Amino acid sequence: MQTTHDTLFRALADPTRRALFERLCRDGEKTVGDLTARAGVSQPVVSKHLVVLKQAGLVRDRHEGRHTHYSAQLRALAPLIDWTSQMTGFWENRFDDLENLLKRMDQ
């Protein structure tokens, strides 16, 4: 069985792949060429990583001529936030800032 959490965590576990996603989050829509220029790996590798991110729902692609524009899909992170929330009991207790959360997490 392949759960949503599986695909999400696995997609974000690889440093190269996570870096791609982070860049799309920070800098917005980018083409494969743009991403490849700073990824440190070859273009086919970037494409393969983008496939994985897309299958996890973390990115969207938009075709425009011979360019393919990719953008981050933040809503795909919802299960991850929900999971950590469940683990830490975050939402049940409705902490409203990081300080309190960290305090609670110190045991």
28 is a contact residue toward DNA (CB under 7 A): no
1 is a contact residue toward DNA (CB under 7 A): no
Alpha-carbon distance 29 to 19, whole Å? 14
Contacts of 95 (CB under 8 A, 6+ apart): 101, 104
The alpha carbon torsion through 23, 19, 54, 33 (nearest 10 deg) reads: 60
DSSP structure class, residue 70: E
Q: Looking at beta carbons only, is 13 or 98 nearer to DNA?
A: 13
User: Which window, 21-29, 48-56, 82-90, 97-105, contacts DNA (CB under 7 A)?
Assistant: 48-56
Alpha-carbon distance 58 to 72, whole Å? 6
* Residues contributing to the site for a second copy (CB under 8 A): 3, 5-6, 9-10, 12-13, 15, 18, 21-22, 25, 72, 74-75, 77-78, 80-82, 84-88, 90-91, 94, 96-98, 101-102, 104-107
* Residues contributing to the site for DNA (CB under 7 A): 10, 13-14, 16-17, 31-33, 36, 41-52, 61, 64-68
